[in-house]
Structure 1
Amino acid sequence: MVPQTLVALVLAGRAFLPGGGEPSPAVPSGGAALPPITARYEAGPREVTNWRFEAVDDLQPKSLVVLAALFRAERPVVSRCVKLNNYWCIKSARWNGELATDSEGHVGFASADHGADAAANLLRRYYLNFGRKSALDIVRRWAPAECNIATSLGGAAMLAVKGIGGTLRARYLASRRKGGSVRYTAKAGPSGKPGRVSMVLPIRTPQYRVPDIAAGMGEKKKAVQPAAPLVREARPAPRPAPRPAAQPTATASVAPKPMPKPETSTACAPDEQRLRNYAGRMVETLGIGPTDDLKLFEANGTPLPNLAAVMLAMSSFELGVLRATPDLIEGAIQRMKERAASERAALQGGGGAPSSQ
């Protein structure tokens, strides 16, 4: 009874969706030309006009998708990538079916099939062309860390701050002032140009004696003592400098102090944890670690079985509550297999180099 109710809910939702009568542009296999694209990107709401229609077909859980599309739900149920038919939040690279990009470079695809094809092709590019075999290597490029310090400064700003604060002179000056501390600021320049790192050191100025011309305003003038006559004394012969005492050898009771471990930058600690969580989600159903080979493709570009599981996990991590359907992913993998076969046949027949997309 539950499957029939779910089907009825999906069909009813499709009928009431805005633009539900518009056909979704199909992605043909092989190198055939695409039909005219009916979907369009609207810059105001930052969405593709057919995203509800595509979401009902290609996202799950179905009941939540239909309700979210009908009642125009926003975050956290419907993320911006859902409205772009881009269930892997891919950036622009002249993908097939790319309509436009939002203010942050995320692609608005004409259909969810185009978005799935782009995700599969991008993973193949990372795996084969860039040599990123593990989940952690892929996500470091797929979703790079965004530190709190301006990205134009990168690690140089953090190294500069730590270098200034770690000097012996800075620590000494900071310790000489009661209740004071050394403050640092990092500011990026205009148009993403490298900025500068500033340091504020609270320093106490020395107290000088009041000069004679201002006597009565501060200290009292002291009586001047007559200078004693200079008597030249015989200079004693120099003595040899004493040798330093031998250092005691390390014993069980007197152990040498451990050397401090090299300090690592913690400016991107939250993003680093996010990347590790992302990589862990990608491999949790494969029985491997985040730094192990994912085994996504053969050397000739043929997809392997792990690709479907990785794409499903990545879609779930990117979208949060929703995720791509297995049918959408399997369709993209099948089209990739057909293209790989046609490219191999073209190479064997002298047809030229295969395309990257």
Structure 2
Amino acid sequence: MLPSALIALFLAGSALSTDHWGFSAMIADRDAPSIAAIRYDAATREISNWRSQTVGTLEPKPVAMAAALLGADRPVVTRCVKLNNYWCIKSARWDGEIGKDSEGHVGFASADHGADAAVTLLRRYYLEFGRKSALDIVRRWAPAECGIATGIGGLAVLAVKGIGGTVRARYLASRRGKGVTTFTAKGRGGKPGRVSMVIPLKTPQYRVPDIAEGMGEKPKPVPKMEAAPRPKIRAAAAPMATASAPKPAVAACAPDEQRLRNYAERMVGDLDLGPNDDLKLFAADGTPLPNLTAVMAAMSSFELGMLRPGAALIEGAVQRAILRAEARKAAPSADPEL
């Protein structure tokens, strides 16, 4: 039933494309966009040509066509689709960057610009920053977004997200009312909003980990007590530290840590590698290796959900990266990517 519905949408989209959206003409001109004519709309957080880019570069085609025709939103279309940024890259004055949203995600003039930026960023991670494995890369590419501990009473204060997506929760009292903490969301003009809750919290004084040293209570002196000698236990050899070795995690970060591991597993899904193995993405001179294509496809599909980039988009970006690597070898003093 579902495939039939998608095919119907695709046929309907094909019929409408010439009369309503003019997709055929826009797709034909996709490889040579006029950047001056392309705009970023901050209100809707989208690039003006995202529909034609979606139809021309993303798969499966029926879903891409339907998404472009209907202006679909989540879960079919993530915000990065409407930014021509299929790897959800943050702003860094990339070639083809014409805007960015409130969280710094780039709006590219075309999907090709976004793919080129993804290759460049992966090369820098791999060669310049020494991030060789999938876990090493995703910990920097898509870092954990769990709340930061405030150290009040040794517990993190979590904001309550109010109606309409506005965060207006305020911490009103610390341990007021015998360990009862109140969170209140206020509406416009200071009037009470529709979200209010009272959460009873016990506030024992825990030691915070070293990563947040200085945010918790100072250790209290412990009186010396004589104790019977215990047998010595030989400690196991500590594993060699690596960039991807996780630090002691706060319990609130556990879901995000799992997300990162799922991301890394997706990256190596089509390769005979583990999430901590060298991905073998680039040679020492910056020339892309065969695994780069599979890793780029996996990363983008993880970011986009129901959509994924077509093979032509990724292969084009890889071929351009090969040409840039050859240009660097011919003129080492000039970097064609800068």
TM-score normalized with structure 2 length = 0.68
8 Å Cα contact 1:17-1:53 kept in structure 2:
no
What is the match of residue 320 of structure 2?
335
Structure 1 segment 34-113 matched on structure 2, within 5 A: 36-113=35-112
What is the match of residue 182 of structure 1?
203
8 Å Cα contact 2:135-2:260 kept in structure 1:
yes
TM-fit CA distance, 1:69: 1.2
Q: Write out the 4+ residue segments of structure 1 that deviate beyond 6 Å after TM superposition.
A: 4-10, 194-198, 244-247
Name the SS of the counterpart of 1:339 in structure 2: helix
TM-fit CA distance, 1:181: 3.7
How far apart, in 2, do the equivalents of 1:123 and 1:286 lie? 17
8 Å Cα contact 1:37-1:110 kept in structure 2:
no
How far apart, in 2, do the equivalents of 1:132 and 1:159 lie? 37
TM-fit CA distance, 1:9: 6.5
Residue 315 (structure 1) aligned with residue 300 (structure 2): yes
TM-fit CA distance, 1:310: 0.2
2:18 is aligned with what amino acid? A
How far apart, in 2, do the equivalents of 1:309 and 1:337 lie? 16
How far apart, in 1, do the equivalents of 2:20 and 2:266 lie? 33
Structure 2 CA distance for partners of 1:72 and 1:25, relative to 1, 3 Å: closer
What is the match of residue 326 of structure 1?
311
What is the match of residue 26 of structure 1?
31
What is the match of residue 189 of structure 2?
none
How far apart, in 1, do the equivalents of 2:214 and 2:145 lie? 17
Alpha-carbon displacement from aligned partner over 1:40-99 (angstroms, at most 9, x marks no partner): 101111100110100001000001111111122111001100000000000001000000
Question: Unpaired runs of 5+ in structure 1?
Answer: 28-33, 163-173, 186-193, 199-243, 251-255
RMSD, aligned CA: 3.9
Residue 291 (structure 1) aligned with residue 312 (structure 2): no
How far apart, in 2, do the equivalents of 1:158 and 1:291 lie? 36
8 Å Cα contact 2:280-2:291 kept in structure 1:
yes
What is the match of residue 125 of structure 1?
124
Residue 272 (structure 1) aligned with residue 257 (structure 2): yes
Name the SS of the counterpart of 1:80 in structure 2: coil
Name the SS of the counterpart of 2:251 in structure 1: coil
Question: Unpaired runs of 5+ in structure 2?
Answer: 157-178, 180-199, 207-212, 218-225, 236-246
TM-fit CA distance, 1:290: 0.2
Which moved further from structure 2: 66-75 or 318-327?
A: 66-75
Q: Higher RCO, 1 or 2 (CA under 8 Å, sep at least 6)?
A: 1
Structure of larger gyration radius: 1
2:307 is aligned with what amino acid? L
How far apart, in 2, do the equivalents of 1:290 and 1:5 lie? 40
Aligned length: 265
2:330 is aligned with what amino acid? A
Alpha-carbon displacement from aligned partner over 1:304-324 (angstroms, at most 9, x marks no partner): 000000000000000011111
8 Å Cα contact 2:35-2:109 kept in structure 1:
no
TM-fit CA distance, 1:267: 2.8
1:182 is aligned with what amino acid? T
What is the match of residue 234 of structure 1?
none
